[in-house]
Structure 1
Amino acid sequence: MTLDTRVHAVPPITTTPLFDIAVDLEPPLKFGPGPLGRRTLYPASRGTFHGPRLRGEVLPGGGDWALYRADGTMSLDVRLTLRTHDDHLIHMTYGGRWVIPPDVRADLADTATRHHIDPARYYFRTTPLFETGSPKYGWLNDIVCVGSGYLIENGIAYHVAQLT
């Protein structure tokens, strides 16, 4: 096969830390099995985020409308409202995948201890996007991010980085 001459070298994708976010979750609402898999809502009750350029709180009312596929992988569909420390609102959405190997699933079933499981034992990645009307934080409207997730006591956390 010959190389397509239209393909060019481009600078490598790099990342810059944006923030770390911790989200407390309410008990899940299980919709049961549907045509695409098992749908479960994990309501967000509150949380915090901190980074070099912004910080604040996660407001109640968002959540993850997760879909568990037949193979056990969770597809994320998350919507959160962030309020910055200086009172600007930011809409954060992200999809992603949480792939849990079969040998880790039993350990994750124990809600009292699952946050102690090493995140290296599973794959939990997201693709956050933002929307805001704030002139101060309008730069968020034009960036793409990636996140690496892990469990914490009473919820989830992510390290979010901007693709540069």
Structure 2
Amino acid sequence: MPMDHLAHKHLVTLTLDVDFRSMLVIGSTPGGLRRIAPVTGGRFSGERMNGTVLPGADWVINRSDGVMVIDVRLALETDDSALIYLTYQGRFLASAEAMTRFSKGELLKPGEYSLVIVAKFECGDEQYAWLNNVITVGTGQQMAHGPVYSLFEIG
């Protein structure tokens, strides 16, 4: 395999429902404006696993340079009742003007921003133990109810 090729395959599409109205505003901290957005549910689907997103949260920091840093922790329940812990970190980049509109609740066009994450899974169920060794990256799209991510297994 050439060194300039990144082997990857689609793992899951992850759709989150976020309760933006219930977001907790911690306030300005040394790292930036800290908020906590409740994830109330959602779905995930892929070739090897499907299921429901259980409640969790996104610990958000809006840095002074305009970048929104995300830190999400969730539990997933597969359709066959296995529980999986999912955590991911990433960033949402957009121009200052687009970020201002976004902060007011406006949906941005896909070309106006970049949402990229690195995810990690943990699972004790034998059927999904393979997830413990998966390196995952993803891209996201902003929707009114919350983000939709395409997650890819690397290598």
TM-score > 0.5, shorter chain as reference: yes
Instruction: Give the aligned partner of residue 121 of structure 1.
Output: 112
TM-score (norm: length of structure 2) = 0.92
Report the more deviating stretch, 80-89 or 95-104. Answer: 95-104
Instruction: Give the aligned partner of residue 87 of structure 1.
Output: 81
Structure showing greater Rg: 1
1:38 aligned to which of 33, 37, 52: 33
The residue type equivalent to 1:107 in the other structure is R
Task: State whether structure 2 residue 48 is matched by structure 1 residue 53.
Answer: yes
CA distance in 1, matches of 2:24, 2:95: 24
Runs of 4+ deviating beyond 3 Å: none
CA distance in 2, matches of 1:101, 1:137: 40
* Contiguous gaps of at least 5 residues in structure 1: 1-8
CA distance in 1, matches of 2:92, 2:144: 18
Offset of residue 101 of structure 1? 1.1
Size of the aligned set, in residue pairs, is 152
Task: State whether structure 2 residue 72 is matched by structure 1 residue 78.
Answer: yes
Identity percentage of aligned residues: 33
The residue type equivalent to 1:108 in the other structure is F
- Within 5 Å, give how 1:94-133 maps onto structure 2: 94-111=88-105, 113-114=106-107, 117-133=108-124
* Contiguous gaps of at least 5 residues in structure 2: none
TM-score (norm: length of structure 1) = 0.87
Q: Residue deviations 1:50-100, cap 9 Å, x none?
A: 11110000001x111011100110111110100000000000001111112
For the aligned residue pairs, the C-alpha RMSD in angstroms reads 1.5
